Amino acid sequence: MNSEKGTAVITGASSGIGAVYADRLAARGYDLVLIARSADKLERVAEQIRAKSGRKIETYPADLTDHLDVARVELLLKSDPDLSILVNNAGLGAVAPLLQSEIDTMSMMISLNVDALTRLSYAAVPQFVARGAGTVINIASIVGITPEQLNGVYGGTKAFVIAFSQSLRQELEGTGVKVQAVLPGATATDFWDASGSSLENLPDSIVMNAGDLVDAAIADLDRGELVSIPALQDAGLWDAYESARRAMFGKLSNKNVAPRYRRAA
């Protein structure tokens, strides 16, 4: 029997943040479809969660930098009538400066962090709207608002995730569909090794446990928060950032050039 809460599909679910989301959502009563490249790692995660939760958990190996695999996952999302949550967690990161990075790697990062996330969202959201319920959780990063840190292309892709989530949330207002962007800071996952660095290079004081991160983000989701930044101690800073951004609405397009650009007589 399928879960009354439906199915949560989680990309990048073989380790780190994705695996924690799988654990937490299963504990909340969701069935799961776990997606990542490694079939062996996925199955290990699935076995552990099945033993703890008793939920129905399927694994779906796919490389989301491959257009054919993305198309297969899109079809999966479109054809699952029980789909209720999509967690777009799969992503690539980089820490090296742009000019020290391989362009093919940067292009692959854009493909995964931007194109795949967008296509999977487009596959899931129409049926959520038709049903009047559903949730999209997009894992962004603090570098989406601090692009001077780490690699510029990486920061750019995460800025897209934040902007896309903000626009989607506004567009879906009143439909019953929830959208959230989660902005992790430094987190204790294998991200650092995969991106060519190491957690050992970071002070312990700035590195958050992945479980703590996901628990905080889910608490924000329950409260209806669009943007979750679990490491930000003063929430007023984000409120001020958003207020300043919104204060420019309606003032960024004008027939007349601003007076500061006029040549002195």
Candidates 170, 166, 187; CA nearest to 242 is 166
Structure tokens at 214: 């996901």
Q: pLDDT confidence of 200, banded at 50, 70, 90?
A: confident
Query: How far out from the chain centre does Cα 217 lie?
Result: 11
Per DSSP, 64 falls in state: T
Q: What is the mean pLDDT of residues 51-62?
A: 97
Enzyme catalytic residues: 154
pLDDT of residue 196: 63
Q: How far apart are the first and last CA of the chain?
A: 79
Tens-digit pLDDT profile for residues 138-158: 999 999 999 998 899 999 999
pLDDT of residue 194: 63
pLDDT of residue 193: 66
The whole-chain average pLDDT of the chain stands at: 94
**Topology classification of domain 7-261:** Rossmann fold (3.40.50)
Tens-digit pLDDT profile for residues 71-116: 999 999 999 999 999 999 999 988 888 888 999 999 999 999 999 9
Strand order in the sheet with 7-11: 57-61, 31-36, 7-11, 83-88, 134-139, 177-182, 227-228
* Cα radius of gyration (the chain): 19
